Structure 1
Amino acid sequence: MDRLSHALDEALLSDLECPVCREYMVPPINLCTNGHNICSKCRQKVQCCPTCRAEFSSIRNVALESIARRLKYPCANRQTGCLDLFSIEHIAEHQAVCAYGPIECPLNKVNVGCPWKGFKSDLKEHAKAAHPRYFSERSTFFSYMLQDEAALLFCFGEVFLSYKRIRDGRFYCVVQLIGPSSQASKYKCEFKLHVVDEIEEICKTFTVRSYLEDFETSFNSGKCLRLDALVVRHFVVQNVLNLTVTLSTVQRRASITQPKNSTGVLKPGKYM
């Protein structure tokens, strides 16, 4: 049955191939007056139908769009080795950070201005050579400056971008995984502000965010470190900030199944 389903998907995907870019179309799918399809990106680049030279219609191929939403799409980087399949809702998110496709240096997100573009597998070597001040292979990162700061952390076989910012009297710090949100949720980050040899400390733990999310969205989500700058200054001693960021994997708690007797009724006693 799986083999038949896969063959059917392959046949339907062939109908979804754009005649211009040869990539699989996703909604909205445009039509010409003779009923030929074209993807929305290519529709903006050509004046007439590439198949029959007819004018484009304002009508969309709603039937084909409905089919597209039920299919699993292969990654655009399939020619370089990615064999994963994704629904229409998740294919774009995956392709933006696919290990088999080229990505920009993540530090461009913090305005470093690096021209490098390559595969994720080569990012560690690039960062170590070109950005040693931002590079770390540890899961724990120490921040000593009360100013904007970034770091690339290579641990757990993944790449993380840590970013700290102070704006309008607010202190923000977030860790993002160079990957989709589904993968980012497997990790958590602990932010700890403390004063050496004193009792006071602030410790908060959040799930790691995805690199595909812009910083403003992360900061406004409330799911990252966000404090009043005056509070943070309490943890600055002789112009040195004591902030420790620790990454770890999320340990999922196994559900506990209560034992039953032969009648299917919960046993009384310590479980009740």
Structure 2
Amino acid sequence: MKRKYEFDEEIAECPLCNEFLCPPIHQCKNGHVACAGCCEKLKSKECPTCRAKPFAHSRNLGLEKMIESLQSACVHAPYGCTEVVKLKKEKHVEDACDYRQFKCPVPACSYTGPKREVPEHFRTLHNASVYRDPSGIRTRKFHIQYWKLNDRPHIVFVLDTELFVAHIHEVNNKCDLRFIMFACSSFGNDSLKYNIQITVKSKEGVSSTSKLDNALAFNNQTTGNIWEKDNLIILPNVDPTSELTLTLTLL
């Protein structure tokens, strides 16, 4: 029977920045190690510990192999995830874990729950339309035809590992002109970009198209304002009976 060994976590920390050591791990000629980021900053400079130069003298392949073999429970294990995560995390990315906890961005809603339950929460509690990847081949593109606004203020898109929501806000100004604004947001992704095009067809048969390209979807977990000026698409004079065709592409 194989013996189990305990591992001192400090051994796997970079002594310079205290972050977890990830390969490639370099060392000076006396064996003092540092993470790849610190080595890049030091480059040909001397070792901060023993002054040996250059610091990034060679790779510590033994320590790399040991660290790559380390396993731990997913950080979302307290919420039900049973995955055992290796350092490289090829098969299980914790940011995309179905058990990752998200708070609902709808004002006055106090719901917090796992990622996999968020679409159903929006559908049942906020009367949202929920759309999933129609192709099954991860094209990251949706095409919704003949969709009516009615009383649904949110559209939730479930695509690959992303949750993406379009908030629909109606504005009536002093001139009695009716505007519909779309503000798109992501759940926990600070770098998600998208293209969106919406064609509105009135009951009289008149069509108009609005689009927004290379827009950055704000992270609704870190901001309290869902009406950010940089990711709004405005549709003027939309009637509740108007038919909408929406094409959304995540970049």
TM-score when normalising by structure 1: 0.45
Larger relative CO (CA 8 A, sep 6+): 1 or 2?
2
